[in-house]
Amino acid sequence: MPPSPTRPQGRPSATDHAAIEHAAFRLFEEQGFDNTTMEQIADAVGVGRRTLFRYFPSKNDIPWGQFDESLRHFREQLASQSLDGTVADAVHRCVVSFNDFDPATLAQHRTRMTLILTTPTLQAHSALKYGAWRRVIAEYVARRTTAAPSDPLPALVGHVSLALAVSSYQRWLDHPELRLTDVFEESMRQLRTYLS
Amino acid sequence: MPPSPTRPQGRPSATDHAAIEHAAFRLFEEQGFDNTTMEQIADAVGVGRRTLFRYFPSKNDIPWGQFDESLRHFREQLASQSLDGTVADAVHRCVVSFNDFDPATLAQHRTRMTLILTTPTLQAHSALKYGAWRRVIAEYVARRTTAAPSDPLPALVGHVSLALAVSSYQRWLDHPELRLTDVFEESMRQLRTYLS
DNA sequence: CACCTTAATGGCACTCAGCGCCATAATGGA
DNA sequence: TCCATTATGGCGCTGAGTGCCATTAAGGTG
């Protein structure tokens, strides 16, 4: 027997993250995020409201999809950076690559980010998501600089990297003709110019 | 008759922002922010729950006090900057001065910021407050650089200034012996070093 | 086939933030 | 005394989120 994708045991799942996301985004687009209730999403998926909360800890987390898992990749990519260049270059490379999406999924990503960046409720929630992202960077910088725990640099780099990323995204959403990674590079250049 | 502080007319207020803040902070400290209900605060103030929502649009806004009003000062101070220096210097000066508090109110300010920066619920809500703060900076930069509305620099400067401010605050909260304005300066120096 | 274990579902009831509605209270003025 | 003005606060509702628990749908074992 081939060790088939073992269905462990127990009652099979009635849905999955992708199906919920799909139904939810359709409703968000039709009625807006705040006007869509978890009950409506549950009905659209064909599942109980209670079950939704087992897949996403909150309604605000639905637009973020598998963000938390993607942080693991981000962490690993940072860890595998060569130690030759500067810390700033390594961080910048990984931040850009973290946001370099397959053209096939780009449209979906644009929809996602538009929702997140234009809905106040989600703007607020994103602070928590961003916090986890910043922490990944801060941990890397701390390791690379063998900084004391109280060294302010790691946290600062996390915050500034986020600042660059979010303002790049805002520009990218306004200008669909630009490539996201190019916008990142341009923002970085602008910041360097501004500060000198 | 001296034009006495005209009490306009109508039923007098039963409380004010300061009294609510005071009662709320006491409860937040005793039980934590999330475990404190609006009803408890209302009882402590001696006022109806419904009335609280006329003074603060949400529970999350209570720790921010009169932040929205202070943005007006911030805007005016930026507007009154000399045009001699660089935009970066003007922004930096105003950001530092915005966070230069009277020693008498410093302890209160530290309590406030500790609460905001360590409570996840409030971290999330702060994104909305920060957004308004960033907009003030972005508007100033746009004016000073006569930027096209699509110019990315104003938004970028807003984001990066915020990044500096928040990481400075985190450091200041960890190190009570430091002066907040000094921490700002140090963060700015560190950023310049990091990027060059 | 009956039975057990495992794991997911989903209903129910509850708390709490927030909001719309509106009757009521407390003031100054005519 | 009556009126206009303005704040209060009670009531009832919606909707997110949670704890609890009975139920369902598998796989495995004798």
Which residue of chain B comes nearest to A158, CA vs CA? B163
Residue A128 has pLDDT above 60, yes or no: yes
Structure tokens at A95: 């931040």
How far in angstroms lies nucleotide C21's C1' from the CA of residue A107?
44
* Residue-wise pLDDT tens digits, B9-56: 899 999 999 999 999 999 999 999 999 999 999 999 999 999 999 999
pLDDT confidence of residue B109: 96
One-letter-per-residue 3-state SS of chain B: CCCCCCCCCCCCCCCCHHHHHHHHHHHHHHHCCCCCCHHHHHHHHCCCHHHHHHHCCCHHHHHHCCHHHHHHHHHHHHHCCCCCCCHHHHHHHHHHHHCCCCHHHHHHHHHHHHHHHHCHHHHHHHHHHHHHHHHHHHHHHHHHCCCCCCCCHHHHHHHHHHHHHHHHHHHHHHCCCCCHHHHHHHHHHHHHHHHC
How far in angstroms lies nucleotide C19's C1' from the CA of residue B121?
21
B35 touches strand D (CB under 7 A): no
- Give the separation between CA B71 and CA B65, rounded to whole angstroms: 12
Residue A107 has pLDDT above 80, yes or no: yes
Residue in the structure block whose two tokens are 């234009």 = A118
Residue B55: which nucleotide is closest by CA–C1'?
Answer: D7
Using CB atoms, pick whichever of B128, B159, B162 lies closest to residue A124.
B128
CB pairs under 8 A between A and B: 102
Residue A71 has pLDDT above 80, yes or no: yes
- The CB density around residue B51, as the number of other CB atoms within 10 Å, is 14
* Residue-wise pLDDT tens digits, A130-143: 999 999 999 999 99
Please state the pTM of the whole predicted model. 0.94
Which residue of chain B comes nearest to A124, CA vs CA? B124
Residue B1 has pLDDT above 50, yes or no: no
Question: Most distant CA pair in chain B: distance in Å?
Answer: 66
- Per DSSP, the three-state class of A176 is coil
- CB within 8 Å of A115: residues ≥ 6 apart: A25, A28, A33, A63, A122
A90 touches strand C (CB under 7 A): no
B9 touches strand C (CB under 7 A): yes
- Give the separation between CA A40 and CA A34, rounded to whole angstroms: 12
B10 φ/ψ sector (left φ>0, alpha ψ -120 to 50, else beta) = left
Using CB atoms, pick whichever of A88, A128, A187 lies closest to residue B124.
A128
Burial (0-12, 13-18, 19+ Cβ within 10 Å), A110: middle
pLDDT confidence of residue A139: 96
pLDDT confidence of residue A4: 43
- Give the separation between CA A109 and CA A132, rounded to whole angstroms: 19
